[in-house]
Structure 1
Amino acid sequence: MSEQLKCFPRESRLLTPRQFTFVFEKAIPAVSPTLTILARFNEASSPRLGITVPKKKVKLAVHRNRIKRCIRESFRLYAHQLPNVDIIVVAKQGIGQLDNASIHEQLHKLWGRLVKRCQ
């Protein structure tokens, strides 16, 4: 994909439990203190994203939604650099206390690490 995604279309999302299970079975991890990225090569023509922000880790829905928006925006900006992989971003304890800039910074590092591990 030569240009950035302009939105987050249905084709760029992991939607079914089967798609999530596929990634969890043989995942390539990239880990930080508050986020884990799991990836697995797919047959699609572009990378796809799934997000899990557990209620147990981030209590308020507004905070979970903010975190998901940050993750989607970061993915949109970096999707053209990523190989054809299915990606699941899992939020961990402490992510709710980070501001948007910190989340974007962590994701920037993790996307780079993921690209290196997928080569």
Structure 2
Amino acid sequence: MVKLSFPRELRLLIPSDFTFVFQKPQRVSTSQLTILGRLNKLGHPRLGLAIAKKYVKRAHERNRIKRLVRESFRLYQYQLSSMDFVILVKRGVDNLTNPVLTQMLEKLWHCYYF
């Protein structure tokens, strides 16, 4: 049985993890979101979030976006390659509704299926 949880080992937690992804990423993006990915040797994907105040001013909007991204990753984790992912946002992402943002993330994850 598949567990659809989001435990600590599926998160990028320390700066060196983020630096590893930023060095040589595979990039997939839309006009509001970018997903950077880099293969890891852990056997499972991990997620890191970089939601800048510069692009999403209000904290409740940043939290909403983070919640939706985490939920999307949680549902797709077993279909993704063993990669470290960092989600970056661009201007206008806070204007997207939840269904639109979820659908956008779903399309972007398809680029990283194994």
TM-score band by shorter chain is over 0.9
SS at match of 1:57: coil
User: What is the aligned partner in structure 2 of residue 24 from structure 1?
Assistant: 22
User: What is the aligned partner in structure 2 of residue 3 from structure 1?
Assistant: 2
User: What is the aligned partner in structure 2 of residue 39 from structure 1?
Assistant: 37
Runs of 4+ in 1 over 4 A off after TM superposition: none
The question of whether the paired residues in 2 share the 8 Å contact of 1:35 and 1:95 is answered with: yes
Identity of matched residues, % = 47
Structure 1 residues 4 and 101: CA distance shift in structure 2, 3 A = farther
Structure 1 gaps, min length 5: none
Aligned residues: 114
Amino acid at match of 1:23: V
What is the alpha-carbon root mean square deviation over aligned residues?
1.2
CA distance in structure 2 between the partners assigned to 1:4 and 1:106 by the alignment: 24
CA distance in structure 2 between the partners assigned to 1:110 and 1:4 by the alignment: 22
After superposition, residues 1-119 of structure 1 pair within 5 angstroms as 3-6=2-5, 8-115=6-113
Structure 2 gaps, min length 5: none
Structure 1 residues 87 and 48: CA distance shift in structure 2, 3 A = same
Amino acid at match of 2:102: H
SS at match of 2:38: strand
TM-score, with normalisation over the residues of structure 1?
A: 0.91
